[in-house]
């Protein structure tokens, strides 16, 4: 009963490096989300995918790209990492975009 | 800017007391949800209230929604030390057609002292 799985759990990048955060869900959900969480800022929506084949920008999309590879997987890419992208990243999925969301355990990313 | 705004930012109470957290939001919503986050972990869904509902209960949780004031409150009754966590409200807003996005507030840190 995996739910939402994020990989990796921890990552340290140097400024300018690129990487992809992976997210997969096994609940046959249509909607998927990427958030970042910084101290005192709560969760901010980066990108979301209301259904397979669609992606939309959230509140803080700059510096990120996403791919909804299939119904199960939604990846987040940092093309050129910056220290301001140091954060905890959460992926979530939901049956539809206006129902309860299920969260992964997060990826703690540090950019030095 | 973020859609939801919780109040207070932090709340400290004694075990057995009730805890009330408030959430205000800015735009029309389809529903409002409350989540809980234990330190450093993923969020867990607590309760969802739709825009045409005014009050909902789940165990020791009571949620109210006032769409005219664009506000909601979460009441946890008879609190326990295990309720210590951060609590977030989230709003589902229509983003065009049948698409919705789920946006969160900054959260309330609840500490329940034994």
Contacts of A105 in chain B (CB under 8 A): 41-42
d(CA B87, CA B70): 18
DSSP-derived secondary structure letter, A73: B
pLDDT of residue A1: 64
Task: Give the pLDDT band (50/70/90) at residue A40.
Answer: confident
- The tokens describing A13, both together, are 């990048």
- Report residue B2's pLDDT band, with 50, 70 and 90 as the boundaries: low
For tokens 């992976």, what's the residue? Answer: A22
To 5 degrees, how large is the angle CA B34–CA B37–CA B38? 150
From A35, A44, A100, residue closest to B48, measured CB to CB: A100
Q: Distance from CA of residue B6 to its chain's centroid? A: 8
How many Cα atoms sit within 13 Å of B56 on the Cβ side? 19
Per DSSP, the three-state class of A12 is strand
Q: Select from B111, B112, B108, B109 the least CA-distant residue to B72.
A: B108
Contact between residue A56 and residue A39 where contact means Cβ atoms under 8 Å apart:
no
CB contact under 8 A, A42 and B42: no
Would the CB atoms of B30 and A98 count as touching at under 8 Å?
yes
Confidence of residue A12 (pLDDT cuts 50, 70, 90): very high
Q: What is the pLDDT of residues A42-83, one digit of tens each?
A: 899 999 998 888 999 999 999 999 999 899 999 999 999 999
Q: Tell me: the pLDDT tens digits for B68-100?
A: 999 999 999 999 999 999 999 999 988 777 778
């Amino acid at each position: 009963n995996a739910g939402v799985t994020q990989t990796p759990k921890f990552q340290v990048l140097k400024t300018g490096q690129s990487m992809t955060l992976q997210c997969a869900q096994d609940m046959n959900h249509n909607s998927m989300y990427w958030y970042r969480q910084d101290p005192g800022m709560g969760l901010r929506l980066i990108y979301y995918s209301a259904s397979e084949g669609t992606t939309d920008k959230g509140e803080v999309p700059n510096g990120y790209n996403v791919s909804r590879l299939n119904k199960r997987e939604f990846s987040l890419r940092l093309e050129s990492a910056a220290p301001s992208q140091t954060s905890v990243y959460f992926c979530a999925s939901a049956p539809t975009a206006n129902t309860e969301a299920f969260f992964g355990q997060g990826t703690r990313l540090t950019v030095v | 800017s973020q859609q939801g705004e919780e109040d207070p930012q932090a709340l400290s109470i004694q075990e057995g007391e009730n805890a009330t957290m408030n959430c205000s939001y800015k735009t029309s919503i389809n529903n409002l949800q409350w989540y809980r986050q234990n330190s450093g972990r993923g969020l867990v869904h607590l309760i969802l209230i739709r825009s045409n509902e005014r009050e909902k209960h789940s165990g020791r949780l009571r949620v109210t929604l006032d769409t005219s004031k664009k506000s909601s409150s979460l009441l946890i009754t008879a609190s326990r030390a295990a309720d210590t966590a951060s609590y977030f409200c989230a709003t589902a807003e229509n983003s065009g057609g049948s698409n919705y996005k789920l946006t969160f507030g900054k959260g309330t840190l609840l500490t329940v002292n034994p």
